[in-house]
Structure 1
Amino acid sequence: MDKRYQVFISSTFEDLQEERKEVMQALLELDCIPAGMELFPASNDDQWTLIKRVIDDSDYYLLILAGRYGSTNDEGMGYTEMEYRYAVEKNKPIISFLHKNPGAIQSSKSEQSLDGKEKLKLFRELAQKKMNKFWTNPDDLGSVVSRSMIRLTKDYPATGWVRADEIVDENSMKEILLLQKENSELKEKLQSLNTTAPVGTDKLSQGEDEIDISYVYHYINTQDKEYIGEDAYMFTWNEIFRIIAPYLIDECDESTLSKVLKNYLKDKYYDAIVLIKQQEKIKKISNSYIKPENFQVIKVQLKALGLIQKSLKNRSVKDTFNYWKLTPYGDYVMTQLVAIKNKK
């Protein structure tokens, strides 16, 4: 929804007309709505009621202070200071822009009376107790206002104004709030699913439970005769998943997964395989692999545990491989098993 902020510009008028134009231009370029004395005189009791109403309706209050204190009411307080104090009373976000060197301002735009100078001095000190910036000329003021208003609206977000046709009615707002609640609940449920095992998997073999995997090898013995050997080796489900899971972060074909398991088995049981070679007088192993039946069981079990799922990505007709990838829960379990823990 496109929101615009109304900004009340408070200052003396005659001596700061050029500066006010620069400030209004800066505010308009920020899609703000300037409001100030150009719309009404500032020395009429009836108009003071109007001024207070405009300040009430404004989102931010901006004070420009230079060399004049300005016209006063019957009690001797300047109307600009009255506006400032009223904005403070109403807790409006306020920022003051004070001339950096009041002594350098030409005399025609400066207070002439000692009383006026003293009141301006006290008012300036009052304004410096809240957020304030300094400026030297109209162009500089416009730039400072632009930068400051961007920061002010971020630090102190206000209600703002929107087009009437963009306002959401009460029923629509209730529906939006209900949908937001449902969306939040669904996100929590999804997050829980990502870190929780699927229902029913507690009855399945998993974790540190063990499984035998058969290593099949075709070999030639010292008499140059060809044989097929098969030996079973013990693994846990966590061990198997820890080895193949990183390959499934994106996706991986079944042939590669089988080779990864075979190579891990050969490394883990290297000494046992060397001993078999010696006992069987094996001269050369021509081919070796994980027994296909075992690999199918591993694949089905990991799928049943909710750790992997088949990839449905479209591929070329020539690509006939089956591809697998991690489920969100599988990704979570992999992180727990593979990621390096802090030693502290």
Structure 2
Amino acid sequence: MLDRRYQVFVATSGLDMSPERRIVAQTLIGIGFSSWCVEHRTPVSTAIARRQIDESDYVVMLLGSKYGDCSVSGVSYMHLEYIYAITKQKPIIVFIHADPRNRPDELQETSLQAKEKFNNFRKQLQHEVDQVFFYRDLRDLELIVRANMLHMLECFPVLGWIRPQNMQILQDRIDALNAKVNQLERELKKCEHDMVAICDVSVEDIYCFRYRIQAYQDGYVHEMEHERSEDWGQLLYVLSKVFKTLMPEECFAKCLNDYLNETALAELRITMPQVYAVGRAQIQVQHLYHIKLQMRQNEWILPAHRDERHRMLWKLSSKAHEILETYIQQQNRNFQLNSNSYSNL
């Protein structure tokens, strides 16, 4: 199992929150997080804090009873860090002292303006951040951090980082994936090699393809591989039911497999009379690919454009509509002639 770690930036008002910051840092280490914090505030430290926020997975706002040291703009460095984290769309969790007025006098703001800014910032955090939790003492803070930081992993999953000693595990996974890619590339080349040359066909031409299907007989499931011969007119007719409107490319497989599920029972009963049901038909990939290419080559079903999910959408062409009308009329005439021949007998 990979030893995954997560980086957390802890924003505080300054040195007045050192005990709380140490508790948070120790607690985070115990549950798989590493923390950063900037306590000595200067204009230079702002750039450092922003770089640390950029590289962090989560941001913790730790608010006691002070607004904190202010920048030249009159906004505290902690407040600026909060604004920056918002712009970077970092998951934020806030831990606020439940009763800031009862903290020691040396931890209180001395000016009315600073107290007003603190109260406004406290209200802002409660209004804008979903994950806000209140603590009363250091022990309470430890328990709340431990419980809710693990909850943050579930609500806001991130990649984190892997310890260097786990690089061999990662390399093994990469090697396994590369082997899988090579295997798939070989299979793709084999499919391409098996493909027949694509040229124009007529609706009367016959196409032979193979498919797999499950046949149910005597309470058992039999995995079967079968061959089917259809003229291109019938294949176009089957696909036209789906591609009358814009549909994604994967509908080729679903449409043909559904057709095989509906029609294969009678075909299989020729050799297996006791078969009572079939299902899970799947046309072979190379034949599916050939049918799709043939529909495009003949300009019967063509790619139109991509949807919002970047999937290629296909649609029956006007040319195919005309061909289908003629084909269906011919099929009806053939059926009528066959019916008359049987009645004469």
**TM-score range relative to shorter protein:** 0.5 to 0.7
Q: Which residue of 2 aligns with 1:42?
A: 41
What is the identity, as a one-letter code, of the residue corresponding to 2:137?
A: N
Aligned equivalents of 1:142 and 1:102: distance in 2?
Answer: 18
What is the identity, as a one-letter code, of the residue corresponding to 2:125?
A: A
8 Å contact kept, 2:27–2:142: yes
What is the identity, as a one-letter code, of the residue corresponding to 1:158?
A: V
Match runs of 1:77-88 below 5 Å: 77-88=75-86
Match runs of 1:85-104 below 5 Å: 85-104=83-102
The answer to whether 1:198 aligns with 2:188 is no
What is the identity, as a one-letter code, of the residue corresponding to 1:31?
A: G
Match runs of 1:100-249 below 5 Å: 100-128=98-126, 129-130=128-129, 131-167=131-167, 168=170, 172=175, 174-175=177-178, 178=181, 197-199=222-224, 202=269, 203-207=271-275
SS at match of 2:67: coil
SS at match of 1:4: strand
Aligned equivalents of 1:148 and 1:174: distance in 2?
Answer: 35
Q: CA 1:197 to 1:63, structure 2 compared with 1: closer, same or farther past 3 Å?
A: same
Aligned equivalents of 2:60 and 2:30: distance in 1?
Answer: 16
Per-residue CA deviation, residues 41-89 of structure 1 (Å, 9 max, x unaligned), is 322x222111110110010000110111111011111011111111111
Q: CA 1:175 to 1:112, structure 2 compared with 1: closer, same or farther past 3 Å?
A: same
TM-score (norm 2): 0.52
Aligned equivalents of 1:77 and 1:70: distance in 2?
Answer: 9
Cα RMSD (Å) of the superposition?
Answer: 3.2
The Cα of 1:6 is off from its aligned counterpart by 0.5
Q: Which residue of 2 aligns with 1:269?
A: none
Aligned equivalents of 2:222 and 2:9: distance in 1?
Answer: 59
What is the identity, as a one-letter code, of the residue corresponding to 2:273?
A: S
Residue ranges of structure 1 left out of the alignment (5+ in a row): 183-188, 210-344
Q: Which residue of 2 aligns with 1:16?
A: 17
8 Å contact kept, 2:98–2:134: yes
What is the identity, as a one-letter code, of the residue corresponding to 1:97?
A: F
Q: CA 1:74 to 1:174, structure 2 compared with 1: closer, same or farther past 3 Å?
A: same
The Cα of 1:208 is off from its aligned counterpart by 6.4
Q: CA 1:121 to 1:2, structure 2 compared with 1: closer, same or farther past 3 Å?
A: same
Q: CA 1:173 to 1:111, structure 2 compared with 1: closer, same or farther past 3 Å?
A: farther
Aligned equivalents of 1:192 and 1:115: distance in 2?
Answer: 78
Per-residue CA deviation, residues 94-131 of structure 1 (Å, 9 max, x unaligned), is 00011111222222111111100110011111111202
Q: CA 1:123 to 1:192, structure 2 compared with 1: closer, same or farther past 3 Å?
A: farther
Aligned equivalents of 2:28 and 2:45: distance in 1?
Answer: 24
Kindly report structure 1 stretches of 4+ aligned residues shifted beyond 3 Å: 164-174, 176-182, 189-197
SS at match of 2:224: coil
Q: CA 1:164 to 1:118, structure 2 compared with 1: closer, same or farther past 3 Å?
A: same
The Cα of 1:174 is off from its aligned counterpart by 4.8
Aligned equivalents of 1:155 and 1:191: distance in 2?
Answer: 42
Aligned equivalents of 2:165 and 2:215: distance in 1?
Answer: 41
Pair member with larger Rg: 1
Aligned equivalents of 1:160 and 1:47: distance in 2?
Answer: 24
Aligned equivalents of 1:21 and 1:190: distance in 2?
Answer: 64
Aligned equivalents of 1:60 and 1:119: distance in 2?
Answer: 25
Identical-residue share of aligned pairs (%): 28
Q: CA 1:74 to 1:208, structure 2 compared with 1: closer, same or farther past 3 Å?
A: closer
The Cα of 1:198 is off from its aligned counterpart by 2.5
- Larger deviation: 153-162 or 165-174? 165-174
